Structure 1
């Protein structure tokens, strides 16, 4: 009897977690500003008490971090699968990897801005930053002519910080396509000329 009750409690906790993540995701996606979404709003949309949010996620920063991690997981899987595509070069994989991350940040810039507002402003402390850094550095190690893959990986990721993406899209009115094109040109310059250079860049 006690075991059944414990399983039921775990199932309820999982349902609550999924409901909170889904509600948070939807509210941040629809918001015009990260400041406009409160913990009260999220609790009401998820159908749970505000105390549940704090018990499950610790604070606003913890909740936002969990939402970002959930949204990034499908992208991580796509990147892993792309590494196994026959005939792809390290240089092309660097371009595709950063383009995929840029598109994620464009589409989720309000959520990423909310993370910065909640005290997650240093990307270097975020678990997902470490994941992107390691996979990018490993690819750069294989690109002919690239020296200092460690620094280059950090520098390229800095070019698509969430606050910069939001500024260029929302304040400077740069189009997503224009930003992606500018990033591709910047990466091409940073990597320099190489026999690994693809003839044409693949469209996403």
Structure 2
């Protein structure tokens, strides 16, 4: 199966395995560009790449794993900007500003990779592998830095992750009308509003224990 991409230093990989991974990812992108997500199957990927179907299966585990691997590879630039890029997306800005900036960057990324992300989610619903919730982890870290004493941070991180990604991925991504704002701008404005309201009691005293 495909090794999940984690923020930070990637795990070492044998030279032949790395070559096969790059070949498969490049071939997957060719198939997507030619005919969309329906054209990307295990059999077609093996045939087009010249590698055995067993190699494809061991690398990705399932058709959903192919889409997730392409999505992970596309996400490397965003991850690097979060880790070492300039603020507010990268380190150095107040955590609320970083949380807002992360949401905006994530929305734009998912809009640009909408078909791939949707295919990965649909495949997981059919029993494919679930990737580590990296977005949720990053949101949880920022929430802990904000210090919200009245909030259940673990629960809130999951709720915000779905609020950020769920509406965008669970509906068709339609083009705006001539007098409508771009869809990403609407999502970004909604995310900013939500974060500012959720974080408005930062530094407040803890809620009293229930009697």
Q: TM-score, normalised by structure 1?
A: 0.71
**1:121 CA displacement:** 7.1
- Write the distance in 2 (CA, Å) between the matches of 1:171 and 1:121: 28
**Contact kept in structure 1, 2:176 and 2:183, CA below 8 Å:** no
Q: 88, 92, 98: which one pairs with 2:97?
A: 92
Of residues 155-164 and 131-140 in structure 1, the stretch that sits farther from structure 2 once superposed is: 155-164
1:108 counterpart = 2:116: no
- Write the distance in 1 (CA, Å) between the matches of 2:55 and 2:127: 27
Aligned pair in 2 of structure 1 residues 60, 163: CA closer, same or farther (>3 Å)?
farther
More helix by share: 1
Aligned pair in 2 of structure 1 residues 163, 37: CA closer, same or farther (>3 Å)?
farther
1:152 counterpart = 2:160: no
Aligned pair in 2 of structure 1 residues 125, 48: CA closer, same or farther (>3 Å)?
closer
Aligned pair in 2 of structure 1 residues 11, 150: CA closer, same or farther (>3 Å)?
closer
- Write the distance in 2 (CA, Å) between the matches of 1:123 and 1:50: 17
1:79 counterpart = 2:79: no
Aligned pair in 2 of structure 1 residues 67, 52: CA closer, same or farther (>3 Å)?
same
Unaligned runs of 5+ in 1: 1-9, 196-204
The corresponding residue for 1:183 is 191
The corresponding residue for 1:22 is 26
1:136 counterpart = 2:144: no
User: Number of aligned pairs?
Assistant: 182
Q: TM-score, normalised by structure 2?
A: 0.69
Unaligned runs of 5+ in 2: 1-13, 204-211
Secondary structure, aligned partner of 1:48: coil
- Write the distance in 2 (CA, Å) between the matches of 1:163 and 1:21: 28
Aligned pair in 2 of structure 1 residues 171, 137: CA closer, same or farther (>3 Å)?
same
- What is the Cα-based RMSD across aligned positions, in Å? 3.3
In the TM superposition, what are the counterparts of 1:40-79 in structure 2 within 5 Å?
A: 40-79=43-82
Q: Deviations over 1:154-177 (max 9, x none)?
A: 111001335643515238876222
Q: Deviations over 1:76-109 (max 9, x none)?
A: 22111247643x1011011112222222211111
Q: Deviations over 1:104-128 (max 9, x none)?
A: 211111111111222257999421x
